[in-house]
Structure 1
């Protein structure tokens, strides 16, 4: 332990530690709330875009007066719709993934009050617990941030492919070189958006392979 007998200096250090821990928790809560708010907005935007695209396709395909040079419901459009659905799914995951520790529970308070511990001992215990909360919240925010970045990235990809699909349906002019150029630009955007770095951090936190092994009862 880094605190010994109860004295003014040690209690002052304990108070400072608790204050710093609380400030860190507050910043984590603010960051998580900001991600949740943006994810909720994107979820609504994606849903509206999906409705517009489906309505537009239904109208174009059912109206014989509209002459298309290509297939209105082509492969590019299908890819765009699948990516948009993926964006919606990750937006929902982002909104539901933020389950943070925000403070002491009633049982924790009762234990501190009824335990008969000294002031310094209580503050030491609380500081250790808050340290665990900070670590847990950090992992949770890493997961939420990855989901949110994936949401925005998939949205950009989906809109690009939907635009290509519409262009191909109207003019039948989207060739392999145009498609390759757009995909290259999208890959650059994905890299610049730090998606790959966030994927690495997400993989480190979640350890999906290890979880799958535990679920399937695999043995090394």
Structure 2
């Protein structure tokens, strides 16, 4: 079978996506590959919530299922390593696009930054348990202030992960992907991505030995 690719991702990889909004990023990959048998796509929302919150979610899910995608709802990134459908699997690539802890206060507030950092740290703790030996964790994140204050690279290092690469993120590289706010009454609205990067992390085995 021919290997097909889009940006950093290949049809030969076993891919886990977490925190999906309307599942348009998962569908973008699946369309590029011509199949989604190598993809597990998850979200924190239930299927009922998805239908209520995102106008295109059900049609995206239907197409993904037709392409062979495994779809799992109600997946919390802080506990996903123990999820019965995930805990015995290992992935070559785990993707979390624009993690966000919700719109509780201003993005620049120290309290809000700590909430975001706790979200990302918990994700790292779980994701590294689901990685294959040479797998990578991908986080796409805004890099301008105040988002730069999350210190994504430092959070990863604290979890025994090392940065392999940081590349500029261009949403136009992913046809059909519609990023979503994912919270509140405007959850189905997109937001300007601005200056952002995709960070590629792998397990630092030298650190893990100690």
TM-score normalised by length of structure 2 = 0.23
Which is strand-richer, 1 or 2?
2
Which is helix-richer, 1 or 2?
1
TM-score normalised by length of structure 1 = 0.22
